[in-house]
Amino acid sequence: MVDAWLDPSSASPRIVLFADFSRQALYASPAGTREVLRQRLRPANFGLRRNCRNTLKISAETELLTGSFDIRACERQPPGEPVERFFFTDAHDEVRQIGRALQRLRSEGFAPSDIIILGSRRREKTALAGVTSCGGFRIVDREASRSGAEVVYATVHAFKGLESPAVVLMDCQPGTDALGDALLYVGMTRARVRLAMILPEAARDEIAAREQRNLEIQLG
């Protein structure tokens, strides 16, 4: 594919590749993947360390829950609204909490096309399987979206590299392995303006411990 971009008349073409190595490997070991890429791209290696996508509050919440401190928020970003957490007890309650999050976004003036629901699994394997409407919006898979009049569901993997004004993130919470944290990081940082997280009650203790630990790291 790279050959197709090259000018045949140029003896020394210059190619610049940009990559975000912060918790971005979703299919393999993040550390191992990062090292392989660095080895192959030598000697060029320049770090882009400013997050210009997320509001300051989304960026801060991502740092607290994932421990990703290598990419810092650009000071010119707006503060934004706090990240909202909706805790559920079972699958039925999970759909209800997703509805609450969507209703909140609707009341704030977000259009269906401004919102995406992201999850770690395909929709038929989540609590939204068979759910065609929620929170006053019609719900469709990303591949089936046509009119922009519905809220789209997509996996975090499929939405990697993209962004949305508002994200409702489900089936992602702080875990015990690097891949889980990578998934959480990518899902949270897709939101530019508003982020709502749908979380199991059982994750409360882990979230509190993670926040405390990462806050202590931030404060040195």
Out of 2-11, 21-30, 43-52, 189-198, least confident range: 21-30
- Say if residues 86 and 198 touch (Cβ distance below 8 Å): yes
Task: Dump pLDDT digits (tens) for 167-180.
Answer: 999 999 887 677 88
Out of 92-96, 176-180, 215-219, least confident range: 176-180
pLDDT score of 39: 72
pLDDT of residue 37 exceeding 90, the answer is no
pLDDT score of 172: 92
One DSSP character per residue, 31-47 reads: HHHHHHHHHHHTT----
Q: For all residues of the chain together, what is the average pLDDT? A: 85
Task: Dump pLDDT digits (tens) for 56-79.
Answer: 999 989 988 988 766 676 778 888
User: What letter does residue 207 receive in the DSSP assignment?
Assistant: H
pLDDT over 90, % of the chain: 53
- Tell me phi and psi for residue 114, to 5 degrees: -90, -5
């411990």: which residue's tokens? Answer: 209
pLDDT score of 116: 98
Burial of 112 (0-12, 13-18, 19+ CB in 10 A): buried
**Helix 178-188 vs helix 30-41: crossing angle, to nearest 10:** 80
pLDDT score of 121: 94
pLDDT of residue 22 exceeding 80, the answer is no
115 vs 68, which has greater pLDDT? 115
d(CA 106, CA 115): 9
Nearest to 135 by CA among 161, 162, 170: 170
- Say if residues 153 and 170 touch (Cβ distance below 8 Å): no
d(CA 14, CA 33): 24
Out of 12-21, 120-129, 174-183, least confident range: 12-21
pLDDT of residue 46 exceeding 70, the answer is no
pLDDT of residue 189 exceeding 70, the answer is yes
Looking at residues 30-36, what average pLDDT do you find? Answer: 63
Put simply, whether the predicted model's pTM sits higher than 0.75 gets the answer yes
